[in-house]
Structure 1
Amino acid sequence: MHALILAGTTEARALATALTATGMRVTTSLAGRVREPKPLPGDLRTGGFGGPDGLARWMREHHVTALLDATHPFATRISENAAEAARRTGIQLIALRRPGWTPIPGDRWHSVRTLDEAAALLPTLGRRVFLTTGRLGLHAFVPQGEAHDLWFLIRSVEEPDPPTPHACQVLLDRGPFTIDGERALLREHRIDVLVTKDSGGPATAAKLTAARELGLPVVVVRRPDPPAGVRTAPDVDTVLALLSPAAADTYP
Protein backbone atom coordinates (compact mmCIF):
# COMPACT_ATOMS: atom_id res chain seq x y z
CA MET A 1 0.00 0.00 0.00
CA HIS A 2 1.06 3.58 -0.66
CA ALA A 3 -0.61 6.30 1.39
CA LEU A 4 -0.54 9.94 0.31
CA ILE A 5 -1.07 12.29 3.26
CA LEU A 6 -2.14 15.84 2.52
CA ALA A 7 -0.58 17.51 5.54
CA GLY A 8 -0.69 20.77 7.44
CA THR A 9 -1.66 19.70 10.97
CA THR A 10 0.02 18.02 13.93
CA GLU A 11 -2.24 15.03 13.29
CA ALA A 12 -0.66 14.61 9.85
CA ARG A 13 2.73 14.10 11.45
CA ALA A 14 1.33 11.56 13.92
CA LEU A 15 -0.43 9.79 11.06
CA ALA A 16 2.77 9.58 8.98
CA THR A 17 4.62 8.18 11.99
CA ALA A 18 1.94 5.57 12.69
CA LEU A 19 1.67 4.42 9.08
CA THR A 20 5.41 4.13 8.46
CA ALA A 21 5.64 2.04 11.64
CA THR A 22 3.33 -0.51 9.98
CA GLY A 23 5.69 -0.81 7.02
CA MET A 24 3.39 1.07 4.64
CA ARG A 25 4.91 3.35 2.05
CA VAL A 26 3.99 6.92 3.00
CA THR A 27 4.32 10.18 1.10
CA THR A 28 3.46 13.37 2.97
CA SER A 29 2.61 16.42 0.89
CA LEU A 30 3.05 19.96 2.20
CA ALA A 31 1.72 23.03 0.45
CA GLY A 32 5.08 24.75 0.92
CA ARG A 33 3.78 27.72 2.91
CA VAL A 34 6.02 26.99 5.91
CA ARG A 35 9.60 27.73 4.92
CA GLU A 36 11.31 25.28 7.30
CA PRO A 37 9.04 22.31 8.01
CA LYS A 38 10.10 19.79 10.62
CA PRO A 39 11.39 16.42 9.33
CA LEU A 40 8.73 13.81 8.65
CA PRO A 41 8.94 10.01 8.39
CA GLY A 42 8.57 8.53 4.92
CA ASP A 43 8.79 10.53 1.69
CA LEU A 44 8.11 14.26 1.54
CA ARG A 45 6.92 16.43 -1.33
CA THR A 46 6.14 20.14 -1.33
CA GLY A 47 4.03 22.35 -3.55
CA GLY A 48 0.65 22.05 -5.17
CA PHE A 49 -0.57 19.35 -7.55
CA GLY A 50 -2.39 21.56 -10.03
CA GLY A 51 -5.97 20.99 -8.92
CA PRO A 52 -7.91 17.71 -8.93
CA ASP A 53 -6.58 16.74 -12.38
CA GLY A 54 -2.97 17.04 -11.24
CA LEU A 55 -3.65 15.26 -7.97
CA ALA A 56 -5.41 12.37 -9.72
CA ARG A 57 -2.57 12.09 -12.23
CA TRP A 58 0.08 12.10 -9.47
CA MET A 59 -1.73 9.39 -7.54
CA ARG A 60 -2.02 7.17 -10.62
CA GLU A 61 1.63 7.67 -11.57
CA HIS A 62 2.80 6.87 -8.03
CA HIS A 63 0.38 3.99 -7.43
CA VAL A 64 -1.30 5.58 -4.42
CA THR A 65 -3.82 3.27 -2.75
CA ALA A 66 -5.08 5.54 0.05
CA LEU A 67 -5.51 9.31 0.11
CA LEU A 68 -5.56 10.84 3.60
CA ASP A 69 -6.65 14.45 3.96
CA ALA A 70 -5.03 15.73 7.16
CA THR A 71 -5.07 19.39 6.17
CA HIS A 72 -6.35 22.24 8.32
CA PRO A 73 -10.14 22.19 8.79
CA PHE A 74 -10.31 25.52 6.93
CA ALA A 75 -8.22 24.41 3.93
CA THR A 76 -11.36 23.95 1.84
CA ARG A 77 -9.82 24.09 -1.62
CA ILE A 78 -7.39 21.20 -1.18
CA SER A 79 -10.10 19.15 0.55
CA GLU A 80 -12.45 19.71 -2.38
CA ASN A 81 -9.67 18.83 -4.82
CA ALA A 82 -8.94 15.66 -2.85
CA ALA A 83 -12.60 14.62 -2.93
CA GLU A 84 -12.81 15.14 -6.68
CA ALA A 85 -9.51 13.34 -7.35
CA ALA A 86 -10.60 10.39 -5.22
CA ARG A 87 -13.90 10.23 -7.08
CA ARG A 88 -12.15 10.18 -10.46
CA THR A 89 -9.61 7.53 -9.48
CA GLY A 90 -11.64 5.35 -7.11
CA ILE A 91 -8.87 5.67 -4.52
CA GLN A 92 -9.95 5.44 -0.90
CA LEU A 93 -10.18 8.86 0.79
CA ILE A 94 -10.36 9.52 4.53
CA ALA A 95 -10.38 13.03 6.00
CA LEU A 96 -8.79 13.33 9.42
CA ARG A 97 -10.64 16.10 11.25
CA ARG A 98 -9.97 16.67 14.92
CA PRO A 99 -13.12 17.63 16.85
CA GLY A 100 -13.92 21.32 17.05
CA TRP A 101 -14.04 23.32 20.25
CA THR A 102 -17.26 23.60 22.26
CA PRO A 103 -18.10 26.41 24.69
CA ILE A 104 -18.49 25.73 28.39
CA PRO A 105 -20.13 27.81 31.15
CA GLY A 106 -18.37 31.14 31.47
CA ASP A 107 -17.47 31.43 27.78
CA ARG A 108 -18.68 34.52 25.93
CA TRP A 109 -18.55 33.17 22.39
CA HIS A 110 -19.94 34.84 19.28
CA SER A 111 -20.20 32.39 16.40
CA VAL A 112 -19.77 33.66 12.83
CA ARG A 113 -19.44 32.02 9.42
CA THR A 114 -16.65 34.09 7.87
CA LEU A 115 -13.80 36.47 8.64
CA ASP A 116 -15.86 39.27 7.11
CA GLU A 117 -18.63 38.61 9.64
CA ALA A 118 -16.05 38.57 12.43
CA ALA A 119 -14.65 41.92 11.31
CA ALA A 120 -18.14 43.48 11.16
CA LEU A 121 -18.88 42.32 14.72
CA LEU A 122 -15.68 43.58 16.34
CA PRO A 123 -16.59 47.28 16.87
CA THR A 124 -19.47 46.19 19.11
CA LEU A 125 -17.22 44.05 21.32
CA GLY A 126 -13.96 45.88 21.90
CA ARG A 127 -11.12 47.98 20.54
CA ARG A 128 -7.96 45.94 21.21
CA VAL A 129 -8.17 42.68 19.30
CA PHE A 130 -6.11 39.49 19.58
CA LEU A 131 -6.36 38.06 16.06
CA THR A 132 -5.38 34.37 15.81
CA THR A 133 -6.89 33.33 12.48
CA GLY A 134 -3.62 32.67 10.67
CA ARG A 135 -1.67 34.67 8.14
CA LEU A 136 -4.23 34.50 5.32
CA GLY A 137 -7.42 36.52 4.88
CA LEU A 138 -6.41 39.45 7.07
CA HIS A 139 -7.68 41.89 4.43
CA ALA A 140 -11.11 41.31 6.00
CA PHE A 141 -9.96 43.40 8.97
CA VAL A 142 -8.67 46.31 6.90
CA PRO A 143 -11.25 49.11 7.21
CA GLN A 144 -13.26 49.81 4.07
CA GLY A 145 -14.87 53.23 3.76
CA GLU A 146 -15.38 54.61 7.24
CA ALA A 147 -12.29 53.92 9.34
CA HIS A 148 -12.46 52.29 12.76
CA ASP A 149 -10.24 52.71 15.78
CA LEU A 150 -9.41 49.04 16.32
CA TRP A 151 -5.91 47.85 17.18
CA PHE A 152 -4.80 44.29 16.43
CA LEU A 153 -2.26 41.89 17.90
CA ILE A 154 -1.82 39.40 15.06
CA ARG A 155 -0.26 36.03 15.87
CA SER A 156 0.79 33.61 13.16
CA VAL A 157 3.50 31.06 12.43
CA GLU A 158 4.74 32.89 9.33
CA GLU A 159 4.70 36.57 8.36
CA PRO A 160 1.11 37.54 7.43
CA ASP A 161 0.18 38.14 3.81
CA PRO A 162 -0.70 41.77 3.01
CA PRO A 163 -2.84 43.71 3.29
CA THR A 164 -3.03 43.78 7.07
CA PRO A 165 -4.76 46.23 9.41
CA HIS A 166 -2.90 49.53 9.67
CA ALA A 167 -2.86 49.59 13.48
CA CYS A 168 -1.35 46.25 14.40
CA GLN A 169 1.54 44.39 15.94
CA VAL A 170 2.63 41.04 14.48
CA LEU A 171 3.73 38.26 16.80
CA LEU A 172 5.37 35.27 15.10
CA ASP A 173 4.95 32.20 17.28
CA ARG A 174 3.96 28.56 17.08
CA GLY A 175 1.95 26.51 19.58
CA PRO A 176 1.44 24.70 21.79
CA PHE A 177 0.68 27.58 24.13
CA THR A 178 0.10 27.54 27.88
CA ILE A 179 -2.77 29.09 29.83
CA ASP A 180 -0.34 31.15 31.92
CA GLY A 181 1.39 32.42 28.80
CA GLU A 182 -1.86 33.31 27.07
CA ARG A 183 -3.23 35.04 30.15
CA ALA A 184 -0.05 37.12 30.44
CA LEU A 185 -0.19 38.00 26.74
CA LEU A 186 -3.79 39.19 26.97
CA ARG A 187 -3.00 41.34 29.97
CA GLU A 188 0.23 42.75 28.56
CA HIS A 189 -1.48 43.99 25.41
CA ARG A 190 -4.71 45.00 27.19
CA ILE A 191 -6.74 42.78 24.86
CA ASP A 192 -10.50 43.06 25.19
CA VAL A 193 -11.68 40.69 22.40
CA LEU A 194 -10.25 37.51 20.86
CA VAL A 195 -10.86 36.30 17.28
CA THR A 196 -10.13 32.70 16.33
CA LYS A 197 -11.08 30.01 13.88
CA ASP A 198 -12.55 26.79 15.29
CA SER A 199 -9.47 24.76 14.44
CA GLY A 200 -9.94 22.44 17.44
CA GLY A 201 -7.17 20.56 19.23
CA PRO A 202 -5.21 21.35 22.38
CA ALA A 203 -2.21 23.18 20.86
CA THR A 204 -3.97 26.57 20.66
CA ALA A 205 -6.92 26.04 23.02
CA ALA A 206 -5.23 27.75 25.98
CA LYS A 207 -6.25 31.18 24.66
CA LEU A 208 -9.91 30.19 25.08
CA THR A 209 -9.37 29.32 28.74
CA ALA A 210 -7.44 32.54 29.34
CA ALA A 211 -10.18 34.59 27.68
CA ARG A 212 -12.84 32.87 29.79
CA GLU A 213 -10.91 33.54 33.00
CA LEU A 214 -10.56 37.22 32.09
CA GLY A 215 -14.19 37.52 31.01
CA LEU A 216 -13.32 38.45 27.42
CA PRO A 217 -15.63 37.93 24.44
CA VAL A 218 -14.42 35.50 21.76
CA VAL A 219 -15.44 35.64 18.11
CA VAL A 220 -15.28 32.09 16.73
CA VAL A 221 -15.33 31.46 12.98
CA ARG A 222 -17.15 28.18 12.43
CA ARG A 223 -15.34 25.54 10.42
CA PRO A 224 -16.75 24.57 7.02
CA ASP A 225 -18.25 21.14 6.47
CA PRO A 226 -16.10 18.55 4.68
CA PRO A 227 -16.99 17.82 1.05
CA ALA A 228 -20.15 15.76 0.64
CA GLY A 229 -19.69 12.01 0.79
CA VAL A 230 -16.18 12.09 2.30
CA ARG A 231 -15.59 9.70 5.19
CA THR A 232 -14.12 11.51 8.20
CA ALA A 233 -12.20 10.33 11.25
CA PRO A 234 -11.56 12.26 14.49
CA ASP A 235 -8.11 10.81 15.24
CA VAL A 236 -5.22 8.73 13.96
CA ASP A 237 -6.42 5.47 15.50
CA THR A 238 -9.74 5.76 13.68
CA VAL A 239 -7.95 6.36 10.37
CA LEU A 240 -5.88 3.22 10.90
CA ALA A 241 -9.03 1.25 11.63
CA LEU A 242 -10.75 2.58 8.52
CA LEU A 243 -7.89 1.81 6.16
CA SER A 244 -9.22 -1.24 4.42
CA PRO A 245 -6.85 -3.93 3.12
CA ALA A 246 -8.95 -3.76 -0.02
CA ALA A 247 -7.44 -0.34 -0.69
CA ALA A 248 -4.35 -2.11 -1.96
CA ASP A 249 -6.40 -3.33 -4.92
CA THR A 250 -7.86 0.09 -5.79
CA TYR A 251 -5.21 1.06 -8.29
CA PRO A 252 -6.04 -0.47 -11.68
Structure 2
Amino acid sequence: MIWVIGGTKDSRDFLDQLIDYTKDIVVTTATEYGGKLLKNLDIEVVCKKLTYDMMIDFSIEHNITTIVDLSHPYAVEVSSNAIEVAKERGLKYFRFERQEIEYYPSKYKMFYSIENIIKYIETLENNILVTLGSNNVPYFKELKNLANCYFRILPKWDMVKKCEDNNILPKNIIAMQGPFNENLNIAMMEQLNIKYLITKQAGIAGGEKEKIDAAEKLGVEVIFLGRPHIKYPNCYDNILTLIAAIKNN
Protein backbone atom coordinates (compact mmCIF):
# COMPACT_ATOMS: atom_id res chain seq x y z
CA MET A 1 0.00 0.00 0.00
CA ILE A 2 1.25 3.50 -0.90
CA TRP A 3 0.65 6.18 1.73
CA VAL A 4 0.42 9.69 0.29
CA ILE A 5 0.76 12.55 2.75
CA GLY A 6 -1.24 15.20 0.94
CA GLY A 7 -3.56 18.13 1.36
CA THR A 8 -1.94 20.50 -1.16
CA LYS A 9 -2.74 21.25 -4.80
CA ASP A 10 0.46 19.36 -5.64
CA SER A 11 -0.94 16.22 -4.06
CA ARG A 12 -4.09 16.42 -6.17
CA ASP A 13 -2.03 16.75 -9.35
CA PHE A 14 0.16 13.84 -8.23
CA LEU A 15 -2.77 11.56 -7.38
CA ASP A 16 -4.47 12.28 -10.70
CA GLN A 17 -1.40 10.71 -12.32
CA LEU A 18 -0.69 7.98 -9.74
CA ILE A 19 -4.14 6.38 -9.83
CA ASP A 20 -3.53 5.51 -13.48
CA TYR A 21 -0.71 3.31 -12.20
CA THR A 22 -2.32 1.89 -9.04
CA LYS A 23 -5.32 2.37 -6.75
CA ASP A 24 -3.54 0.69 -3.85
CA ILE A 25 -3.33 4.10 -2.17
CA VAL A 26 -4.36 5.73 1.10
CA VAL A 27 -4.08 9.49 1.62
CA THR A 28 -3.83 11.51 4.82
CA THR A 29 -4.38 15.25 5.18
CA ALA A 30 -4.06 17.37 8.31
CA THR A 31 -7.31 19.26 7.62
CA GLU A 32 -10.80 18.74 6.25
CA TYR A 33 -10.02 21.43 3.69
CA GLY A 34 -7.06 19.40 2.45
CA GLY A 35 -9.37 16.42 2.09
CA LYS A 36 -11.83 18.42 0.02
CA LEU A 37 -9.07 19.11 -2.51
CA LEU A 38 -9.05 15.36 -3.18
CA LYS A 39 -12.79 14.81 -3.55
CA ASN A 40 -14.05 12.62 -6.39
CA LEU A 41 -10.95 10.41 -6.29
CA ASP A 42 -11.73 6.72 -5.83
CA ILE A 43 -9.26 6.25 -2.96
CA GLU A 44 -9.38 6.34 0.84
CA VAL A 45 -8.71 9.76 2.35
CA VAL A 46 -8.17 10.21 6.10
CA CYS A 47 -8.39 13.80 7.41
CA LYS A 48 -6.53 13.85 10.71
CA LYS A 49 -3.34 15.27 12.21
CA LEU A 50 -1.00 12.40 13.00
CA THR A 51 1.71 12.39 15.65
CA TYR A 52 4.81 10.24 15.22
CA ASP A 53 3.28 7.36 17.20
CA MET A 54 0.04 7.65 15.24
CA MET A 55 2.06 7.50 12.01
CA ILE A 56 3.71 4.28 13.15
CA ASP A 57 0.31 2.76 13.98
CA PHE A 58 -1.18 4.00 10.72
CA SER A 59 1.62 2.45 8.66
CA ILE A 60 1.11 -0.90 10.39
CA GLU A 61 -2.69 -0.83 10.18
CA HIS A 62 -2.66 -0.07 6.44
CA ASN A 63 0.25 -2.38 5.52
CA ILE A 64 2.21 0.54 4.12
CA THR A 65 5.25 -0.24 1.99
CA THR A 66 5.89 3.25 0.54
CA ILE A 67 5.43 6.77 1.90
CA VAL A 68 5.11 9.64 -0.60
CA ASP A 69 5.37 12.98 1.17
CA LEU A 70 3.62 15.86 -0.57
CA SER A 71 3.02 17.92 2.55
CA HIS A 72 3.46 21.70 2.48
CA PRO A 73 7.08 22.96 2.24
CA TYR A 74 6.71 24.47 5.73
CA ALA A 75 5.25 21.33 7.37
CA VAL A 76 8.64 20.45 8.85
CA GLU A 77 7.37 18.27 11.69
CA VAL A 78 5.20 16.18 9.35
CA SER A 79 8.07 15.50 6.96
CA SER A 80 10.59 14.83 9.73
CA ASN A 81 8.26 12.34 11.38
CA ALA A 82 7.49 10.63 8.07
CA ILE A 83 11.20 10.19 7.34
CA GLU A 84 11.77 8.67 10.78
CA VAL A 85 8.75 6.35 10.42
CA ALA A 86 10.13 5.11 7.11
CA LYS A 87 13.51 4.40 8.75
CA GLU A 88 11.92 2.74 11.78
CA ARG A 89 9.74 0.40 9.72
CA GLY A 90 12.00 -0.12 6.72
CA LEU A 91 9.63 1.62 4.30
CA LYS A 92 10.45 3.41 1.06
CA TYR A 93 10.18 7.20 1.31
CA PHE A 94 9.77 9.70 -1.54
CA ARG A 95 9.40 13.45 -1.31
CA PHE A 96 7.91 15.99 -3.71
CA GLU A 97 9.34 19.45 -3.04
CA ARG A 98 8.10 22.52 -4.89
CA GLN A 99 10.73 24.40 -6.81
CA GLU A 100 11.76 27.63 -5.14
CA ILE A 101 11.37 30.87 -7.06
CA GLU A 102 14.92 32.11 -7.51
CA TYR A 103 14.41 35.83 -7.80
CA TYR A 104 13.61 38.56 -5.33
CA PRO A 105 12.13 42.06 -5.55
CA SER A 106 14.38 45.07 -5.19
CA LYS A 107 13.06 45.67 -1.66
CA TYR A 108 12.99 42.59 0.57
CA LYS A 109 14.14 41.08 3.83
CA MET A 110 14.56 37.40 4.72
CA PHE A 111 13.86 35.87 8.13
CA TYR A 112 13.83 32.23 9.19
CA SER A 113 11.52 32.51 12.19
CA ILE A 114 8.23 34.28 12.78
CA GLU A 115 9.60 35.59 16.08
CA ASN A 116 12.24 37.57 14.19
CA ILE A 117 9.63 38.85 11.76
CA ILE A 118 7.56 40.10 14.69
CA LYS A 119 10.56 41.93 16.17
CA TYR A 120 11.14 43.65 12.84
CA ILE A 121 7.59 44.67 11.97
CA GLU A 122 6.70 46.01 15.43
CA THR A 123 8.91 49.00 14.58
CA LEU A 124 7.04 49.75 11.33
CA GLU A 125 4.43 52.48 11.02
CA ASN A 126 2.71 51.68 7.71
CA ASN A 127 0.21 48.99 6.71
CA ILE A 128 1.28 45.35 6.44
CA LEU A 129 -0.33 42.49 4.50
CA VAL A 130 0.24 39.13 6.23
CA THR A 131 -0.13 36.01 4.05
CA LEU A 132 1.30 33.31 6.31
CA GLY A 133 -1.92 31.35 6.87
CA SER A 134 -4.16 31.17 9.92
CA ASN A 135 -1.90 28.80 11.87
CA ASN A 136 0.59 31.63 12.38
CA VAL A 137 -1.95 34.24 13.45
CA PRO A 138 -1.38 33.76 17.24
CA TYR A 139 2.20 35.02 16.90
CA PHE A 140 0.83 38.48 16.10
CA LYS A 141 -1.57 38.69 19.04
CA GLU A 142 0.48 41.06 21.21
CA LEU A 143 1.91 43.13 18.37
CA LYS A 144 1.86 46.83 19.28
CA ASN A 145 0.91 47.88 15.75
CA LEU A 146 -1.56 45.05 15.16
CA ALA A 147 -4.13 47.56 13.87
CA ASN A 148 -1.84 48.15 10.87
CA CYS A 149 -1.79 44.45 9.91
CA TYR A 150 -4.19 42.85 7.44
CA PHE A 151 -4.44 39.06 7.44
CA ARG A 152 -5.34 37.19 4.26
CA ILE A 153 -6.71 33.76 5.12
CA LEU A 154 -8.99 31.10 3.67
CA PRO A 155 -12.74 31.88 3.93
CA LYS A 156 -13.44 29.30 6.66
CA TRP A 157 -15.30 30.14 9.86
CA ASP A 158 -12.72 28.50 12.15
CA MET A 159 -9.91 30.52 10.58
CA VAL A 160 -11.86 33.76 10.90
CA LYS A 161 -12.60 32.87 14.52
CA LYS A 162 -8.91 32.23 15.18
CA CYS A 163 -8.17 35.75 13.95
CA GLU A 164 -10.87 37.27 16.15
CA ASP A 165 -9.68 35.21 19.15
CA ASN A 166 -6.22 36.75 18.68
CA ASN A 167 -7.27 40.42 18.85
CA ILE A 168 -7.67 40.95 15.10
CA LEU A 169 -10.63 43.14 14.16
CA PRO A 170 -12.99 42.07 11.34
CA LYS A 171 -11.86 45.03 9.21
CA ASN A 172 -8.34 43.56 9.24
CA ILE A 173 -9.41 40.09 8.07
CA ILE A 174 -9.41 39.28 4.34
CA ALA A 175 -11.07 35.88 3.97
CA MET A 176 -10.55 34.86 0.35
CA GLN A 177 -9.60 31.76 -1.59
CA GLY A 178 -6.35 32.01 -3.58
CA PRO A 179 -4.01 31.84 -5.33
CA PHE A 180 -4.52 35.38 -6.62
CA ASN A 181 -3.31 36.84 -9.89
CA GLU A 182 -1.02 39.85 -10.03
CA ASN A 183 -3.78 42.35 -10.80
CA LEU A 184 -5.88 41.28 -7.82
CA ASN A 185 -2.84 41.48 -5.55
CA ILE A 186 -2.12 44.99 -6.84
CA ALA A 187 -5.73 46.09 -6.33
CA MET A 188 -5.78 44.72 -2.79
CA MET A 189 -2.47 46.34 -1.82
CA GLU A 190 -3.55 49.68 -3.29
CA GLN A 191 -6.96 49.57 -1.58
CA LEU A 192 -5.38 48.92 1.83
CA ASN A 193 -2.36 51.20 1.25
CA ILE A 194 0.00 48.29 1.93
CA LYS A 195 3.70 49.10 2.29
CA TYR A 196 4.93 45.70 3.53
CA LEU A 197 4.02 42.17 2.47
CA ILE A 198 4.81 39.14 4.64
CA THR A 199 4.85 35.87 2.71
CA LYS A 200 6.24 32.37 2.64
CA GLN A 201 8.49 31.01 -0.11
CA ALA A 202 5.60 28.78 -1.17
CA GLY A 203 6.57 28.41 -4.83
CA ILE A 204 4.53 28.74 -8.02
CA ALA A 205 1.60 26.66 -6.75
CA GLY A 206 1.28 28.94 -3.73
CA GLY A 207 0.92 32.12 -5.77
CA GLU A 208 4.27 33.50 -4.61
CA LYS A 209 5.35 34.97 -7.95
CA GLU A 210 2.14 36.95 -8.41
CA LYS A 211 2.53 38.46 -4.94
CA ILE A 212 6.16 39.38 -5.52
CA ASP A 213 5.43 40.93 -8.93
CA ALA A 214 2.60 43.00 -7.47
CA ALA A 215 4.78 44.18 -4.58
CA GLU A 216 7.61 45.08 -6.95
CA LYS A 217 5.33 47.22 -9.13
CA LEU A 218 4.01 49.10 -6.11
CA GLY A 219 7.33 49.48 -4.29
CA VAL A 220 6.08 47.31 -1.41
CA GLU A 221 8.79 45.73 0.72
CA VAL A 222 8.54 41.92 0.81
CA ILE A 223 9.29 40.22 4.11
CA PHE A 224 9.96 36.52 3.55
CA LEU A 225 9.57 33.73 6.04
CA GLY A 226 12.37 31.65 4.54
CA ARG A 227 11.62 28.09 3.55
CA PRO A 228 13.03 25.52 5.99
CA HIS A 229 15.47 23.09 4.44
CA ILE A 230 15.45 19.42 5.34
CA LYS A 231 17.67 16.72 3.88
CA TYR A 232 14.97 14.70 2.17
CA PRO A 233 15.84 11.25 0.84
CA ASN A 234 14.60 10.59 -2.70
CA CYS A 235 13.47 14.17 -3.32
CA TYR A 236 11.91 15.26 -6.64
CA ASP A 237 10.48 18.53 -7.96
CA ASN A 238 8.69 17.02 -10.96
CA ILE A 239 5.58 14.89 -10.51
CA LEU A 240 6.13 12.66 -13.56
CA THR A 241 9.74 11.99 -12.54
CA LEU A 242 8.56 11.15 -9.04
CA ILE A 243 5.98 8.67 -10.33
CA ALA A 244 8.59 7.04 -12.55
CA ALA A 245 10.87 6.63 -9.52
CA ILE A 246 8.04 5.03 -7.52
CA LYS A 247 7.32 2.60 -10.33
CA ASN A 248 10.99 1.57 -10.50
CA ASN A 249 11.30 0.83 -6.78
TM-score, reference length from structure 2: 0.87
Does the CA-based 8 Å contact 1:128-1:151 persist in structure 2?
yes
Pick aligned residue for 1:176 from 179, 191, 213 = 179
Greater fraction helix: 2
Root mean square deviation of aligned Cα? 2.2
Equivalent residue number for residue 93 of structure 2: 93
Distance 1:103 1:125, change over 3 A: farther
Give the drift of 1:141. Answer: 2.0
**Once the two structures are aligned, what percentage of the paired residues are identical?**
19
Gaps of 5+ in 1: 247-252
Instruction: Indicate the larger mover: 92-101 or 149-158.
Output: 149-158
**Conservation of the 8 A alpha-carbon contact between 1:103 and 1:109:** no
2:152 is aligned to: 155
Task: Give the partner amino acid of 1:69.
Answer: D
Q: Judge conservation of contact 2:5–2:71 (CA < 8 Å) in 1.
A: yes
Alignment of 1:212-231 (within 5 A): 212-226=216-230, 228=231, 230-231=233-234
Q: Distance in 2 between matches of 1:11 and 1:35?
A: 11
Aligned to 1:135: 134
In structure 1, C-alpha distance between the alignment counterparts of 2:110 and 2:87, rounded to whole Å: 33
Q: 1:186 to 1:3 in 2, by over 3 A?
A: same
Unaligned runs of 5+ in 2: none
Equivalent in the alignment of 1:43: 44
Aligned in 2, Cα 1:57/1:143: closer, same or farther, shift over 3 Å?
Answer: closer
Q: CA deviation at 1:126?
A: 4.8
Where does 1:75-90 land on structure 2 (aligned, <5 Å)? 75-90=75-90
Q: How many residues align?
A: 240
**From 166, 173, 180, the counterpart of 1:164:** 166
Instruction: Report the residue type matching 1:64 in the other structure.
Output: I
What SS does the aligned partner of 1:21 have? coil
Alpha-carbon separation, structure 1, partners of 2:194 and 2:13 = 34
Letter aligned with residue 49 of structure 2: G
Q: Is 1:192 paired with 2:195?
A: yes
- 1:240 is aligned, of 219, 223, 243, to 243
Amino acid at match of 1:79: S
| 1:114 alignment partner in structure 2 | 113
1:119 Cα offset (Å): 1.5
Q: Which deviates more, 150-159 or 9-18?
A: 150-159
